[in-house]
């Protein structure tokens, strides 16, 4: 149980284009989802917290107009990287918490974004 | 703000032996959760073990156990009978009232056959 999927697992795009990454909780409902960014050999950096049906809460220093987050249902959150640039290349990971559950977060497998 | 510190960037252990990974944290909260996550080369984050701060008993999951010292704000992970599949990056994490995970810097564990 508690499986989280991400799609796509990797994506290559041209500079200036937008890319959408989906995060789905497959066997549970998630009122809260999180988006992280991980640089090589570093820890996870929280970008934003996404609550179903409300606006995402962004961490300090994260551009909300660049990283658009939508949490339209209890099983789906999306991250759109708008006008992507090479410096946005990174590994993006989502996680989800069980609705009414504990503080445990279950993670997706991640998406590797490369911007040319 | 809460912080989590893992002072061992790298550790290695012989297969079948025991290894302990260290983690300390700083918080003024009394109610919180602590976690150890494993990130193998696939980069999938996998929950290893979880500890509720209000529970004095140390959590155990098969070969994995923790030594939770609340007063000292220490939360170490012990892996017994190490296996090749245990090789990974291990992250200690804290979750409190803000409902967000705060991660340590990670410890890369190598298993020597």
Candidates A31, A36, A44: best to mutate against B (most CBs of B within 10 A) is A44
Residue A101, pLDDT score: 64
From CA A78, how far away is CA A73, in angstroms rounded? 10
Q: Does A93 touch chain B (CB under 8 A)?
A: yes
Q: Which of B43, B50, B105 sits opposite A104 (nearest CB)?
A: B50
Computed over its alpha carbons, how large is the radius of gyration of chain A?
13
A34–B43 CB contact, under 8 Å: no
Candidates B100, B102, B104, B108: best to mutate against A (most CBs of A within 10 A) is B100
**DSSP codes, B79-104:** E-S--GGG-EEEEEEEE-TT--EEE-
Report the relative pairing of strands B19-21 and B74-79 from DSSP bridges: antiparallel
Q: Chain B: nearest CA to A37, how far in angstroms? A: 12
Q: Which of B33, B45, B95 sits opposite A107 (nearest CB)?
A: B45
From CA B23, how far away is CA B29, in angstroms rounded? 17
Q: Give the 3-state DSSP-derived string for chain A, with helices as H, strands as E and coil as C.
A: CCCEEEECCEEEECCCCCEEEEEEECCCCCCEEEEEEECCCCCEEEEEEEECCCCCEECCCCCCCCEEEEEEECCEEEEEECCCCHHHCEEEEEEEECCCCCCCEEECCCEEEEEC
Peptide bond into B89 cis (omega under 30): no
Residue B105, pLDDT score: 96
List CB contacts (< 8 A) between B37 and chain A.
107
From CA A43, how far away is CA B21, in angstroms rounded? 16
Q: Does B53 touch chain A (CB under 8 A)?
A: no
pLDDT in tens, B19-33: 999 999 999 999 999
Fill in the DSSP letter of residue B58: P
pLDDT in tens, chain A (116 residues): 789 999 999 999 999 999 999 999 999 888 899 999 999 889 999 999 998 888 899 999 999 999 999 988 889 999 999 999 999 999 999 999 987 667 789 999 999 999 99
Task: Give the SS3 label for residue B5.
Answer: strand
From CA B95, how far away is CA B5, in angstroms rounded? 14
Q: Does A62 touch chain B (CB under 8 A)?
A: no
Question: What residues contact residue A28 under an 8 Å CB cut-off, 6+ apart?
Answer: A1, A2, A96, A98, A99
List CB contacts (< 8 A) between A43 and chain B.
91, 103-106
Confidence of residue B16 (pLDDT cuts 50, 70, 90): very high
Q: Chain B: nearest CA to A78, how far in angstroms? A: 19
Nearest to A77 by CA among A2, A18, A13, A4: A4
From CA A23, how far away is CA A107, in angstroms rounded? 9
Residue with tokens 């701060």: B53
Fill in the DSSP letter of residue B105: -
A44–B103 CB contact, under 8 Å: yes
Task: State chain B's mean pLDDT as an integer.
Answer: 95
């Amino acid at each position: 149980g508690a499986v989280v999927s991400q799609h796509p697992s990797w994506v290559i795009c041209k500079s200036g284009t937008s890319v959408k990454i989906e995060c789905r909780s497959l066997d549970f409902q998630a009122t809260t989802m999180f988006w992280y960014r991980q640089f090589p050999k570093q820890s996870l950096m929280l970008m934003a917290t996404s609550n179903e049906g409300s606006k995402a809460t962004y961490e300090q220093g994260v551009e909300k107009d660049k990283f658009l987050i939508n949490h339209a249902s209890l099983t789906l959150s999306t991250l759109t990287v708008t006008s992507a640039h090479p410096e946005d290349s990174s590994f993006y990971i989502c996680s989800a918490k069980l609705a009414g559950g504990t503080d445990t977060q279950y993670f997706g497998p991640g998406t590797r974004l490369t911007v040319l | 703000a809460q912080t989590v510190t893992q002072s061992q960037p790298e550790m290695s252990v012989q297969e079948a032996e025991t290894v302990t990974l260290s983690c300390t944290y700083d918080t003024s909260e009394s109610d919180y959760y602590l976690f150890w996550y494993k990130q193998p080369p696939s980069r999938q984050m996998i929950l290893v073990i979880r500890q509720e701060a209000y529970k004095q008993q140390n959590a155990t999951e098969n070969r994995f156990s923790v030594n939770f010292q609340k007063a000292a704000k220490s939360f170490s992970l012990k892996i017994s009978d190490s296996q090749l599949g245990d090789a990974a990056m291990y992250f200690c994490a804290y979750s409190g009232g803000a409902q967000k995970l705060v991660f340590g810097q990670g410890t890369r564990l190598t298993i020597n056959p």
